[in-house]
Chains A and B, each alone.
Chain A
């Protein structure tokens, strides 16, 4: 019995965090954000050296073939650095969709290129979770017409995986569509609105009569967003504690005031159990499949709540400085805010958790 990470998993996470700490520190994040660059070539290349893009892609398709837990550890590191990297959709959701539902040709065409970092896939499944502004996609004779909103990693994508109104997933080349950027609070990730007008598409055959690949893809994305929030919130807490040890008022460091100390303790008390929840939820995907949907929902929803609490509280601990652009704390604040809404806000996801355990129909 071992509830924790293996030595290899720890080393993987340390190498990704270590790399990001030097190659993607705050000045680089800021520079990329100011240039609207959500995939800076140097960072992307550096991560490819570590095998990040291929983490869950099977080895026979050029990937590393590791589990959702390793992917979550990477997502946590990326969130911890607020790294501008199209990871969640392209490196995790798309490989899950292709592996579970793609044809041999589709897998061969895309998985090796995703794993090497050569190609980026955007994923647009929002309408399968909660449709806004009547978006949606109709299929006619294999061609798509309609609109997908909030396509994750969409502006960096060479192709998209989107779901039609019946939930079947399709591969579409970006050049065959019209896309426009949706500017969000979080300038470290891209989302696109993609318009289809009798656009040629390839259906992922395994997703036509079986909803499971679609749901597994959403679960994987939710897990990654939860892990991203875990990393981002941990960074905010660490920064708040460091600031509280250094900033002096009334001839004392402010961390010696209980009013400030208790805010830090409350953040730590809320956040630390989240680490175990994310580990378990990621582990469950392979090891406890009957619980995996429920756990992915809870990880997403619970991290959204704790993340929001930590984001505002850590900002408050920094006083006026926390509110400035100069300190840069807002990159993590916004990252957490983004993670919360994408692929289902907590209220939506908790309803799905109720369904997943048979509480409601």
Chain B
């Protein structure tokens, strides 16, 4: 065990801190919503110039062009979070790594630079009404007509489709092939004729998702990533990235500190909640879980530095992290009791109803990106080596 980062990295950390102290005030607010504005794009450009965004994206595609260094990336994330300054991004952490790995030279040059600058926004067209956890059964068709694909079908749970410029989309191009081998991965503009986006209001009262309908949408055949029928394998590179992102332990730490404050400040019969042993014990149970996941994260980081696959510690992050966040939101609501059911616009509301909203939204995150049950299958099969469920031939049930 050696928790020190060493001189090279401490120097690097000092540089990041100095940058944040000097330039941090130019950043837009942490969580501004809707279309990315000019200020956000300026900030992103500044970050790329200094190597704090798109750090390892090659220069010819508009990035900073540094060698991958897990610890430096970690230090950047840590210092930005501590300073509460909006961090940089790579435009879309599912698409950009996929294009870098599998895209053609033309695709990389056309899409990566505007995406990492925040000028081109993407949505992911994967899930369908009848293809959720069993994504590979998707049925949106794309038929080749001359040198164009013609797309018909429907996607659902498409986050941000109402604001996106482009979609990366899975479509069935070889209907007669086995289900995993009949899929292709296409890129197209959301302005293409025949695309209809209908916002889907969720239980939180907001439309974060959409349904997207395709009627004879024509896309040039060159817009495919990888070859025909290989889309499932192309997509799996991005699913991997999405799963890594959900359940990040830093988020639980931030929530936890917020809950500790709430325990000190909220009172029942004039007594702070921290004085009530039942609430305190619940808080401490959550703290134990959170610490275990914090150190699990450090273990993963340590593997990543050495370029090793962490295995089980990694497989459990999405399941445990999302569950823990949800429990924290649930606890915050319970701490407020009657005040906890107040929602937007009510007098006496705490944090603008944030905790109720999180309690609902988190359920979406437990389900999205591979449901908790799918995660348990993955842990059981890939990490513990348990056999898959036998396949039932199509048409039987």
Contact = CB atoms under 8 A, between A and B. Distances in A.
B386 A264 contact: yes
A257 B292 CA distance: 29
Interface string A1-33: 111111000000000000000000000000000
Contact of B3 (A1, A277, A354): A1
B183 to A, nearest CB: 25
B164 interface: no
Q: Contact residue range for chain A?
A: 35 or more
B379 A265 contact: yes
A147 interface: no
Contact of A269 (B1, B6, B320, B386): B320
B363 to A, nearest CB: 18
A279 B296 CA distance: 10
Interface centre among A3, A245, A347 (most CB of B within 10 A): A3
Interface stretch (B116-124, B194-202, B277-285): B277-285
B380 A261 contact: yes
A350 B281 contact: yes
Contact of B376 (A241, A255, A266): A266
A311 interface: no
A121 B386 CA distance: 45
Contacts of A273: 289, 292-293, 295-296, 313, 316, 320
A172 B110 CA distance: 81
16 contacts: A1-B71, A3-B3, A256-B386, A258-B389, A265-B377, A273-B296, A273-B316, A274-B292, A275-B299, A276-B298, A277-B292, A287-B1, A302-B288, A350-B284, A350-B288, A359-B260
B280 A359 contact: yes
Interface string B301-340: 1110100000011001001100000000000000000000
Contacts of B280: 350-351, 354, 359-360
A256 B388 CA distance: 5
B274 interface: yes
B296 A276 contact: yes
B275 interface: yes
Nearest to B320: A269
A268 interface: yes
Contact of A261 (B287, B291, B298, B386): B386
Contacts of A258: 373, 376-377, 389
Nearest 10 A/B pairs, CB to CB? A276-B295, A302-B288, A273-B292, A261-B380, A265-B376, A265-B379, A350-B284, A255-B386, A273-B296, A3-B298
B301 A241 contact: no
Given A256-B389, A268-B383, A298-B287, A3 B313 contact: no
Contacts of B316: 268-269, 272-273
Contact of A1 (B6, B275, B373, B375): B6
A190 B49 CA distance: 65
Contacts of B292: 273-274, 276-277, 302
A305 interface: yes
A266 B372 CA distance: 10
Contacts of B384: 241, 264-265, 268
A288 B89 CA distance: 34
Given A256-B386, A269-B376, A302-B291, 7 more contacts: A1-B3, A245-B387, A261-B376, A261-B377, A262-B376, A350-B281, A353-B287
B386 A4 contact: no
A295 interface: yes
Interface in A304-361: 305, 347, 350-351, 353-354, 359-360
A71 interface: no
A294 to B, nearest CB: 9
Contacts of A66: none
- Interface residues of B: mostly helix, strand, loop or mixed? helix
A238 to B, nearest CB: 9
Contacts of B320: 269, 273
A4 B284 contact: no
Contacts of A347: 281
Contact of B275 (A280, A295, A360): A360
Contacts of A4: 1, 299, 302-303
Interface of A: 1-6, 69, 241, 244-245, 252-253, 255-258, 261-262, 264-266, 268-269, 272-277, 279-280, 283, 287-288, 295, 298, 301-302, 305, 347, 350-351, 353-354, 359-360
A232 B272 CA distance: 40
Contacts of B285: 301, 305, 350
A113 B298 CA distance: 39
A1 B9 CA distance: 10
Interface in B1-32: 1-6, 9
A360 B376 contact: no
B312 A272 contact: yes
A258 B373 CA distance: 9
B379 A3 contact: no
Contacts of B388: 256
Interface centre among A258, A269, A279 (most CB of B within 10 A): A269
B1 A256 contact: no
A252 B392 CA distance: 13
Interface in B94-109: none
Contacts of B281: 347, 350-351
Contacts of A353: 284, 287
B313 A276 contact: yes
A74 to B, nearest CB: 16
Given A1-B71, A1-B302, A359-B274, A262 B380 contact: yes
Given A3-B1, A241-B385, A269-B320, A252 B380 contact: no
A351 B380 CA distance: 35
B288 A301 contact: yes
Contacts of B5: 1
A351 B284 CA distance: 8
B134 interface: no
A255 B380 CA distance: 9
A150 to B, nearest CB: 23
Given A264-B386, A273-B320, A301-B284, A3 B380 contact: no
